[in-house]
Amino acid sequence: MAGSHAVAVTDGTFQAEVEQVPGLVLVDFWAEWCGPCRVIAPVLEQLAAEYAGKLKIAKLDVDANQQTPIRFNVRSIPSLLLFKGGKHVDTVVGAVPKAHLVGKITPHL
């Protein structure tokens, strides 16, 4: 993820990188083989740049990290979970348009 605005998280770093962050964090549950995950990745990069300082984008590879998806009942990917102050506040499933994500993020800023 060179040049990426997103932060890679794992089962081991999820608590520190997501649940202990006071602000807003959008976690992308994805996998390398997932076509829709690749479709939404550039949108997430745009959001990370546009909301720099207001929104943290984290990516969790569900193949390499299986405990966290189970914990949050992630059954389909991409699943985008929004956390505010460490609490899960919203979920978006699938490769949705950027405007849809902005609509989910804005009320929590």
Active site residues: 34, 37
Which residue type is seen at 34?
C
Token pair belonging to 54: 């207001």
- SS3 of residue 11 by DSSP: coil
Token pair belonging to 22: 């006071």
- SS3 of residue 21 by DSSP: coil
Question: Cα(69)–Cα(88) distance, rounded to whole angstroms?
Answer: 13
Helices assigned H by DSSP within the chain: 14, 35-50, 67-71, 98-105
